[in-house]
Amino acid sequence: MSEHAHDTLLPATPTSGVEGLAADWGSDQRAFKNVPWGKAMMWIFLLSDTFIFSIFLTSYMTVRSTTTVPWPNPSHVFALSFGGDPIPLILIAIMTFILISSSGTMAMAVNFGYRGDKKKVFWLMLVTALFGLSFVGMQAFEWTKLIVDEGVRPWTNPMGAAQFGSVFFMITGFHGFHVSIGVIYLTVVAFKVRRGDYEKKGNYQIVEITGLYWHFVDLVWVFIFAFFYLW
């Protein structure tokens, strides 16, 4: 065996300093042991989003605790009447049930993804996206009712503290934006699954990554529901 051939069989000597860091970063496909880059990046994104939602909810609690004007009662503000007495928080309860149900269908999609059952993955992800779409539609109805019927604005509120409108539209709007993005994300991945794109790559890991995003969106809504609608 020639000296050159022998050298090529030996492991490369680790390079120290900036060159070594660049070489490791460019050649390695995993951020941590057994954690793919895609999943690691999603976790980092969700961590940053956690900080943002935490700031929003903390600001809401601070504003509500310090305002001198009475805060509107959510049970009255978000009540709906179906020909009889208004039912408190009925729409919010339905929206919460829909998102919790969507977490179940998304978890099932991930399970079938790792089994390689692309047909079930496609339909379960599509059902999850439809749940999300119905949630956004109900939120649009809720906004329309408050703006048109109740006269709530980001800068004023005829039912009490003026800050109510600003924190409500900011927090629920930001979350609704995340749900809308999630619906698009789910739909795109679902049709790529149906087309067999991930079979060619040999895994359905993207389904799990999509599930991480969707479960995060659902979890955030639980906190919004508890802090904003039940307090």
Give the whole-angstrom CA distance, residue 89 versus residue 97.
12
Which of 199, 214, 27, 184 is CA-nearest to residue 105? 214
* Mean pLDDT in order along the chain per 10 residues (231 residues): 43 59 56 73 95 96 92 91 87 96 96 91 97 98 93 90 93 97 97 87 85 97 93 83
Q: Does residue 196 contact residue 41 with C-beta atoms inside 8 Å?
A: no
| Backbone phi and psi for residue 16, each to the nearest 5 degrees, phi listed first | -90, 170
* Topology at the third CATH level for domain 29-229: Four Helix Bundle (Hemerythrin (Met), subunit A) (1.20.120)
How far does Cα 143 stand from its chain's mean position?
Answer: 20
Q: Does residue 214 contact residue 103 with C-beta atoms inside 8 Å?
A: yes
**What pLDDT sits at residue 130?**
98
Q: Does residue 218 contact residue 99 with C-beta atoms inside 8 Å?
A: yes
**What pLDDT sits at residue 82?**
82
Q: Where are the domains of the chain?
A: 29-229
**What sign does the CA torsion over 94, 100, 102, 104 have?**
negative
Give the whole-angstrom CA distance, residue 160 versus residue 74.
11
pTM of the predicted model over 0.95: no
**What pLDDT sits at residue 196?**
87
Output the six-digit token pair for 14.
């680790």
Which of 172, 140, 168 is CA-nearest to residue 156? 168
